[in-house]
């Protein structure tokens, strides 16, 4: 499957064996190479990366991919459209990157959202919702199924910034602050984002995008659950 967005291109292959996946990826690279040669389009191979998503570890080295007479090394992490993907899909590195970007923006906004700010509470919350929270939850529809320990880090950041905004003393619970400000927790906000996202996909005209509506629940019993389980619509409202 080929995915295009502006000048970013991704080739995705899925299979029950590693050799099949590598063969399919190499075939896709060859097609892109032929097209670029035909239309005289230059490709920066230094920005071309390969990654293998799989469970567990293996001591066997993966066969290298070739692109414009250069070998592509298998990376542990790649960045695509601002989302950092690791080979285990834990999204730990992406959340760490989001944290650094979040605090960098907070330092710029402290004069506006700090306790000495002349802004009203409503305006402070508006800055949080329009500027800070989008950074914290960027691509949350994708990494929202990460481990609770990783999602909790994002919730801790939200707790800290809300306490700064309201200048809350130490003995006030975070749940009280969220209720008083009518702010959703990170998990609640991610669930809302994801439901809206998948509901909009229903009317999409791109068949590749429509395929993203189907997924399987992996109970960990089978290595490849898509071969034995039924397809369902994710985040279906109760």
Local structure of residue 75 (DSSP, 8 states): P
> 45-102 pLDDT, tens per residue?
899 999 999 887 777 889 999 999 999 989 999 999 999 999 999 999 999 999 999 9
Same domain? 65 vs 108: no
> 208-231 pLDDT, tens per residue?
777 777 655 555 555 544 444 444
Local structure of residue 21 (DSSP, 8 states): H
DSSP strand pairing (77-80 vs 83-86): antiparallel
Residue entry with tokens 């320990």: 149
The mean pLDDT value for 175-181 works out to 97
pLDDT band for position 238 (50/70/90)?
very low
pLDDT for residue 228: 46
**Separation CA 133–CA 188 (nearest Å):** 13
pLDDT for residue 35: 92
**Separation CA 49–CA 75 (nearest Å):** 7
Instruction: Please say which residue of 25, 51, 75 terminates a domain.
Output: 75
Q: Residue 167 sits in which domain range?
A: 76-237
Same domain? 115 vs 64: no
Instruction: Please say which residue of 54, 75, 96 terminates a domain.
Output: 75
Same domain? 130 vs 154: yes
Same domain? 164 vs 214: yes
Same domain? 128 vs 70: no
Secondary structure, 3-state, 103-136: HHHHHHHHHHHCCCCCCCHHHHHHHHHHHHHHHH
Same domain? 65 vs 150: no
Same domain? 39 vs 137: no
Nearest to 117 by CA among 133, 179, 126: 126
> 100-117 pLDDT, tens per residue?
999 999 999 999 999 899
Residue entry with tokens 């700010």: 117
**Separation CA 41–CA 34 (nearest Å):** 10
Count of domains in the chain?
2
- 105: which 2 tokens? 């923006």
Same domain? 90 vs 71: no
Instruction: Please say which residue of 17, 45, 75 terminates a domain.
Output: 75
Chain centroid offset of residue 208 CA: 18
Same domain? 15 vs 131: no
Indicate if the pLDDT at residue 237 is higher than 70. Answer: no
Phi, psi of 3 (to 5 degrees): -120, 125
Same domain? 106 vs 16: no
Same domain? 60 vs 163: no
Same domain? 84 vs 63: no
């Amino acid at each position: 499957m080929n995915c295009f967005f502006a000048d970013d291109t991704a080739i995705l292959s899925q299979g029950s064996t590693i050799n099949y996946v590598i063969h399919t990826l190499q075939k896709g690279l060859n097609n892109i190479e032929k097209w670029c040669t035909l239309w005289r389009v230059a490709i920066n191979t230094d920005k071309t990366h390969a990654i293998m998503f799989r469970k567990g570890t293996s001591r066997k080295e993966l066969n290298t991919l070739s692109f414009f007479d250069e070998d592509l090394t298998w990376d542990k992490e790649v960045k695509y459209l601002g989302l950092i993907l690791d080979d285990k899909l834990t999204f730990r590195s992406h959340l760490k990157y989001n944290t650094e970007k979040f605090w960098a923006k907070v330092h710029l906004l402290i004069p506006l959202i700090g306790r000495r700010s002349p802004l009203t509470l409503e305006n402070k919350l508006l800055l949080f919702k329009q500027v800070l929270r989008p950074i914290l939850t960027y691509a949350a529809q994708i990494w929202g199924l990460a481990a609770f320990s990783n999602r909790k880090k994002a919730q801790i950041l939200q707790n800290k910034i809300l306490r700064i905004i309201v200048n809350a003393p130490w003995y006030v619970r975070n749940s009280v602050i969220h209720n008083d400000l009518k702010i959703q927790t990170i998990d609640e906000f991610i669930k809302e984002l994801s439901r809206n996202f998948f509901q909009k996909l229903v009317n999409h005209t791109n068949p590749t995008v429509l395929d993203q509506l189907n997924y399987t629940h992996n109970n960990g019993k089978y290595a490849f659950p898509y071969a034995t389980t039924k397809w369902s619509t994710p985040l279906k409202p109760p």
